[in-house]
Chains A and B, each alone.
Chain A
Amino acid sequence: MSSQNPLDSHHQDLSSRAMDYTVSSGRKFFGSLMTTLVILCVAIAILPLGSILFMLLKNGLGRLFQDFPAVFTELPPPPLVDGGGLRNAIMGTILTCLIGSLISVPVGVLTAIYTVEFGQGNKLSQFVRFCTNVLSGVPSIIAGLFAYGVVVLTMGTFSAIAGGVALSVLMVPIIIRTAEEGLKSIPREVRQGLVGIGATTFQGVFSVILPAALPFIATGVTLALARAAGETAPLLFTALFNQYDARSLREPTATLSVLIYNYAITPYKNQNELAWAAALIVVVLILAVSILARSFTKRKVY
């Protein structure tokens, strides 16, 4: 940075014109240059978002409205066949996310209860927090390979269950963190009151603390769902894909995100269109959920 010079010249300024303090033109120029640069940075950072949202609307909206119910109710067509919809993929996304949260919500919330209520910042809870943060940095494809090794190889088949397990690995850190925040937001007076009336931690947590921390936990779950709904890599080798409806949890299952991947890289126009429509659905879903999650914590309980 060319930042030492202005201060030097500043010194000379001061000595020559004792009390008259003005900022030299060089320093002013440096300031306006940097201000322009950071505004440019913001513009560049927001440009891709604008472009992505615009293209999603432009390429996805038409298909969504053109054959309105069909996109949601029909199966994806084979190559070179027109029409079709995303029924199995929508169901699959809901299903895998549901299984993911069935695993990750209890595990995440109970872990947070240990670190905040029982552990109270001891060495073990610090270690758990460290592991949580490191776990949240594990690449999503590794979570997929993990679920492949643990679930798919054991069950002998690709399935929605394996997909859900892979997603739960990615959801757990988010849920632990937000649940911890929620539990910590309960004022100390409430805990002291619970001790005063002779409640055990178990009774206190389930009768008072958890209900009060619920908005935070709800935020965590929705944020985790938003992440899971868009994940593709962990599902590639776990839920795999299915041209048709999965008839049970033990079958390969189509999901919106894997469908986007498969259909975006084909040369067929109809499949590309379906990929855009699916992408629009996923992004709208995720944006809605993220905004919803913010509104949970806005109205604070305490």
Chain B
Amino acid sequence: MTSEPISHSESLVESSQRFRAPRLINQIFRWLTLALAVGIGLVLVWITYSLLSIALPAIAQFNLGFLFTQVWNPVQELYGALPQIYGTIVSSIIALIFAVPLGVGVAIFLSEDFLPRRVLTPIAFLVELLAAIPSVVYGMWGIFVFIPAILPILQGVHKAFGWIPFFSTAPSTRQMFATGLVLAIMILPTIIAISRDSLISVPPQLRQGAYGLGATRWETITQVLLPASLSGIIGSVMLALGRALGETMAAAMLIGNANRVNVSLFAPASTISALIANQFGEASGLQKSALFYQALILMVLTLVVNMLAEVIVNRFQQVE
């Protein structure tokens, strides 16, 4: 968008009396929209501030030790966030491990002409629908359909690879690994949509040049198109990571809410958002404050990830 600035208000006939009222209205309108635009920026600050103000007692009590303590004891009023931070990050990593190759694969398929456009458009639409399913429905599907379906497979993995610490416990019906898989499905549309856009936006000359050198379609994809669209793909992965970190309902329903760190991925675990969703209702006093402290950690975590994603995606758009 390189439309030149056209300032309506200034270029008007200056001195005429009868233009005064419309110009005054215009000025007021300008200030109103400006205030709201600035307000959008302030909302982020406001959200952080409101979390901080309620978290303050817990911050004063536990300091930074909160981040490394593995205890959640409402009776003795001792709280720590280590199991939740661990669970949030590990479940998101599991999600990324499965969603990134899958998502980039689908993005390649949708950006190439393997099939005529008439067939590709509905497939792209179906993928977008994945993003439209509410997370609570994913959670319910996970409880009643997905986990019962994959449990036998996980049991097989446990039998064969039980000596690896990650698979060392018998698969539980609520567990970290299955939660990560459901998260992977939920973040797929994000990865696919942005990766596909950045693959499509690679200048066609690059592709033509590669073909001209005798490269096959797949050599072109792996050696020219993917490297050229790498920053867009990385940006999409960061955005997806942000979504996985903050995802609440599916995690709250599937992860099992065990407030301890367990190396085995087949054991119940917890995430920050799952803990908040499960305990907030009954919490009061210091416990509620500790929950807000956890929320603050989540907020900082997702803010950092999203800002990085934003910077990366912006750079990719400028290169383009």
Is B163 close to A, CB under 8 A?
A: no
Inter-chain contact A45/B192, CB cutoff 8 Å: yes
A110-118, A211-219, A242-250: which lies at the interface: A110-118
Interface residues in A158-207 by Cβ distance below 8 A to B read: 169, 172, 176, 184, 188, 191-192, 194-195, 198-204
Specify the chain B residue showing the minimal Cβ separation from A126. Answer: B314
Q: What mask results when residues 22 to 62 of chain B are scored 1 for a CB within 8 Å of chain A, else 0?
A: 11011001101110111111011011001101100000000
Residue numbers in A under 8 Å from B132 (CB-CB): 226, 230, 283, 286-287, 290
Q: Write out the residue numbers on chain A whose beta carbons fall within 8 Å of the beta carbon of B242.
A: 137
Is there an interface contact between B141 and A51, defined as CB atoms closer than 8 Å?
Answer: yes
Q: Are B47 and A131 in contact (CB under 8 A)?
A: no
Contact-residue size bin, chain B (C-beta under 8 Å from the other chain): 35 or more
Cβ of A169: which chain B residues have Cβ within 8 Å of it?
Answer: 43, 47
B8 interfacial by beta-carbon distance below 8 Å? yes
Q: A134-B306, A203-B22 are in contact. Are A279 and B140 (CB under 8 A)?
A: yes
- Looking at chain A's contact residues, the main secondary structure is helix
CA distance A194 to B132 in the complex (A): 39
The 8 A CB mask of B220-239 against A (1 = contact, 0 = none) is 01110000000000000001
The verdict on A101 contacting chain B, using a C-beta distance below 8 Å, is no
Taking CB atoms, residues of chain B closer than 8 Å to A19 are none
What's the least CB distance linking B106 to chain A, in Å? 5
Contacts of A127 in B (CB 8 A): 41
| Closest partner residue, chain A, to B182 (CB atom) | A48
Chain A residue numbers with a CB within 8 Å of B276 are 141, 145
Q: How far is the CA of A184 from the CA of B140 in the complex (A)?
A: 41
Binding stretch for chain B, among A3-11, A70-78, A83-91: A3-11
Cβ-defined contact, B145 with A51, below 8 A? yes
Contact residues, A80-130 vs B (CB, 8 A)? 107, 110-111, 113-115, 117-121, 124-125, 127-128, 130
B310 with A233: CB separation less than 8 A: no
Q: How far is the CA of A109 from the CA of B141 in the complex (A)?
A: 36
**Shortest distance from the beta carbon of A100 to any chain B beta carbon, whole Å:** 14
| A217-237 interface code vs B (CB 8 A; 1 in, 0 out) | 000000000100111110011
A301 close to B (CB within 8 Å): no
A146 at the interface (CB under 8 A from B): yes
Q: Mark B115-129, 1 if CB is under 8 A from A, else 0.
A: 000000001001111
Q: Which of A6, A52, A128, A201 contacts B30 (CB 8 A)?
A: A201
B222 & A1 in contact (Cβ 8 Å cutoff) = yes
Query: Does A239 touch B at the CB level, under 8 Å?
Result: no
A260 to B34, alpha carbons, bound, how many Å? 40
Report if B307 contacts A (CB, 8 A). Answer: yes
Q: Once the chains are docked, how many angstroms separate the CA of A35 from the CA of B115? A: 11
With A45-B127, A139-B302, A200-B12 given, is the CB distance from A38 to B109 under 8 Å? yes
Q: Is the CB of B6 within 8 A of A236?
A: no
Contact of B292 among A37, A111, A145 (CB under 8 A): A145
Q: Is the CB of B40 within 8 A of A111?
A: yes
A59 surroundings in chain B (CB, below 8 A): 144
Q: Decide if A134 touches B303 in the complex (CB within 8 Å).
A: yes
Does residue B164 face the partner (Cβ distance < 8 Å to A)?
no
Q: Which of B65-73, B201-209, B210-218, B258-266 is found at the contact surface with chain A?
A: B210-218
In the complex, whether A55 has a CB less than 8 A from a CB of chain B is yes
Report B200 CB to chain A, min CB distance, Å: 15
Q: Are A233 and B273 in contact, with the CB atoms below 8 A?
A: yes
Residues of B within 8 A of A261 (CB): 136, 139, 249, 252-253
Nearest CB on A from B301, distance (A): 9
Q: Is the CB of B126 within 8 A of A46?
A: yes
Q: Using Cβ atoms and an 8 Å threshold, which residues of chain A touch B38?
A: 124, 128
Residue pair A200, B135 in contact (C-beta under 8 Å): no
Determine the chain A residues whose CB is within 8 A of the CB of B285 once the complex forms. none
Q: Is A49 among interface residues, defined by CB-CB distance under 8 A? A: yes
- List chain A positions with a Cβ less than 8 A from chain B: 1, 3, 6-7, 10, 14, 21, 23, 27-28, 30-31, 34-35, 37-42, 44-46, 48-49, 51-52, 55-56, 59, 107, 110-111, 113-115, 117-121, 124-125, 127-128, 130-135, 137-143, 145-146, 149-150, 169, 172, 176, 184, 188, 191-192, 194-195, 198-204, 226, 229-233, 236-237, 257, 260-261, 264-265, 272, 275-276, 279, 282-283, 286-287, 290
